[in-house]
Each structure stands twice: as structure tokens, then as C-alpha cells.
Amino acid sequence: MNANVGSAQARDVRAWFHREVERSPRGGGPCALARGLFGSHAELMMSTTRALTTRDRRWPWLGAVCAGISINAFGGAIGLASGAIDLGTEAHARLPLSNTALAGLALVLVVGVPMGLAAASALAGGGKTGPIAHTAGVLLAAWIVVQPLVIGETSWLQGMFGVLGVLVALRGWRITAYTNRLASRTA
């Protein structure tokens, strides 16, 4: 007897939900359910939730990784420009114009600034976090591919930062796909 009472209640809830969906001027789904439960306040609640999931979402781990990479790039650039990092005479001769300050500036412009922008966007919840992170990751991976060709030396750090660049680029691409998918659902 109890099983029949439960299934009758479930049928009543399903019937109520379908009536609400049919009566809804904007269609069914979560909005119709929320309107049925919360009345006139439901539209405000649903739109706020949607806005937070698409445009203002924060990505703290991505922001921390990008910030760490950016700090390392700026530190490496300062070390190159000041002479604190010695590349050796052979690697120094292979640099464009044999200028470590120019190499440090290139490091800042190609890696430091884009990763800093990606970190700021990810931590602040900017709506363009995905494309910015993707671009910064691709630039880092490209820097890592070109760097050994220019200076003729390799290090385990290049491999580690190359993997981080690929991971940041992939995560940025996934964030872009995620926000586009959510935006198409709400449109």
C-alpha cells in the first residue's frame, strides 16, 4: 500500500511539473520549476546563477599556475638582463644581437605578460579567461620549442615548462568550450 502512495505522489509531482512547463511563457526546464517553487523571485535567482557560471567564474588553480609561470618569466628576464644568469659564451653568442637584455625583454613579452594576464583573468573571473589562457599556453609552448634551437642547450626546466604550457593551453581551450556551451544553452 505504501508503494502505491509514493508512486501516486510522484505522479502528482510529474503532472504539476508538466503543467508548469506548458504554462511557462519562456519554456520549461529549471526556470519553470523555480517559478513554481519560488514565484516571482525565480527569474532573478536563475539569471544570477547563470551569469555566475558563464562570465564570472573564477579558476583559482589555473590562476595560480599562470601566476607562478609569469613570476618565473619575470625573474628569468631580470636575471638575464642583470647578468646574474650566465648562459656561457657559446649560448651568449647564439642570442640575437648577442644581447641578454633583449632576450630578457623577449621572455617578458612572450611569456611573462601573457601568463600574467591569464592569471589575473582566471583569479578575477573575467569572461575571456579561456582564450587568454589558451593563447598564453601556446606562446609558452612555442617559446620552449624555439629556445633550444636558438641557444643550443636544453634543461629539465624546459621540459617542465613545456608541459605546463601545453596544460595551460588545453585548459584554456576547455574553458572556452565550456563557456560557449553554457552560453548556447542560455541563449
pLDDT in tens, 121-174: 999 887 788 899 999 999 999 999 988 888 777 888 889 999 999 999 999 999
What is the predicted pLDDT for the residue at 61? 92
Domain that includes residue 141, residue range: 60-186
Instruction: Give yes or no: residues 80 and 153 share one domain.
Output: yes
As for how many domains the chain has, the answer is 2
Last residue of a domain, one of 54, 70, 94: 54
Does the pLDDT at position 44 exceed 70?
no
User: By the 8 A CB rule, do 58 and 125 touch?
Assistant: yes
Structure pTM? Answer: 0.66
Instruction: Give yes or no: residues 143 and 80 share one domain.
Output: yes
Most confident of 67-71, 90-94, 149-153, 175-179: 67-71
What is the predicted pLDDT for the residue at 185? 74
Instruction: Give yes or no: residues 101 and 83 share one domain.
Output: yes
Rounded to the nearest angstrom, the gap between the alpha carbon of residue 114 and the centroid of all alpha carbons in its chain is 13
Instruction: Give yes or no: residues 28 and 98 share one domain.
Output: no
Instruction: Give yes or no: residues 68 and 107 share one domain.
Output: yes
Instruction: Give yes or no: residues 46 and 138 share one domain.
Output: no
Instruction: Give yes or no: residues 83 and 26 share one domain.
Output: no
What average pLDDT does the segment 57-64 reach?
86
The residue with greater pLDDT, 148 or 119, is: 119
Instruction: Give yes or no: residues 120 and 97 share one domain.
Output: yes
Instruction: Give yes or no: residues 91 and 166 share one domain.
Output: yes
Instruction: Give yes or no: residues 36 and 98 share one domain.
Output: no
The residue with greater pLDDT, 175 or 98, is: 175
The residue with greater pLDDT, 119 or 41, is: 119
**How far apart, in whole angstroms, are the C-alpha atoms of residue 107 and residue 57?**
29
The residue with greater pLDDT, 110 or 150, is: 110
Instruction: Give yes or no: residues 69 and 101 share one domain.
Output: yes
Cα 185 to Cα 5, 30, 109, 179, 182: the distances in Å are 36, 12, 37, 10, 5
Instruction: Give yes or no: residues 91 and 147 share one domain.
Output: yes
What is the predicted pLDDT for the residue at 134? 95
User: By the 8 A CB rule, do 163 and 137 touch?
Assistant: no
Q: Give the residue from 50, 159, 73 showing the smallest Cα distance to 167.
A: 159
Please write the tens of the pLDDT for every residue from 10-42: 667 666 666 665 665 555 555 555 555 555 544
The residue with greater pLDDT, 139 or 100, is: 139
User: By the 8 A CB rule, do 28 and 21 touch?
Assistant: yes
Last residue of a domain, one of 54, 79, 97: 54
Last residue of a domain, one of 35, 54, 73: 54
